[in-house]
Amino acid sequence: MSALSELYTEIALCQQCEIAKYRNKVVPGEGAEDADIMFIGEAPGWHEDQQGRPFVGPAGKYLDELLASIGLRREQVYIANVIKCRPHGNRDPLPMEIQNCRQWLERQIEIIRPKMIVARGRYSMTMFFPGKSISKIHGTAQKRDNVIYYAMYHPAAALHQQSLRRTIEEDMLKIPSLLARAETIQEEQQPQQLTMF
């Protein structure tokens, strides 16, 4: 059994939060164990809860298109969320839920060891770019401990606000060149206090 499959078994048994009782399926994440890029969203929605897979609703279809625009399929990257169960009624995750769930994301990152982490959405941003505003830092990268952290608007944002589509698509197109020159990107001088690690 692969390290990720073992982790999925553990995640499926997790009952730390009240929302675990109401979930239809847990949504641990999916993709390649040796992926270079990890996309980290917020939380499963209705479609994800039905299928047990991340980003399979309308925002997910758009994510697939964005991936195709840089010649990738979802099986070649890794896609996960900050929390693994759907908050009822699509409410925002509670701080306690984020706190309880963070061990799983930390272990996913440890197993996959991605070259690049793409934060998508408010909670993912808070974790990897604390105190920063997406409108200011989208499309920019920071390298810390040999990992490139990259901030993008959540794909759902483009579904609500058409004007963001172009920005999101342009930010996506920057990913291949960032990865290609990963070795040459300067590490951040000021070590940043991450919320998560």
Q: Which residues bind ligand URA (CB under 6 A)?
A: 41-45, 48, 54-55, 57, 59-60, 81, 121, 156
Q: What is the rounded (10 degree) CA torsion for 33, 139, 176, 124?
A: 0
Least CB distance to ligand URA at residue 124 (A): 8
Instruction: Please give the C-alpha separations between residue 33 and each of 10, 41, 145, 177, in angstroms, as whole numbers.
Output: 17, 18, 20, 22
Question: What's the token pair of residue 193?
Answer: 């206090």
Least CB distance to ligand URA at residue 4 (A): 17
Q: Which is nearer to ligand URA, 143 or 172 (CB)?
A: 172
DSSP 120-135: ESHHHHHHHSTT--HH
Q: Which is nearer to ligand URA, 68 or 188 (CB)?
A: 68
Positive or negative, the Cα torsion across 153, 155, 161, 164?
positive
Strands (E), the chain: 30-31, 37-41, 78-81, 116-120, 141-144, 147-152
Closest-approach residue to ligand URA (CB): 41
Least CB distance to ligand URA at residue 104 (A): 14
Least CB distance to ligand URA at residue 184 (A): 31
Q: Which is nearer to ligand URA, 59 or 101 (CB)?
A: 59
Q: Which is nearer to ligand URA, 116 or 125 (CB)?
A: 125
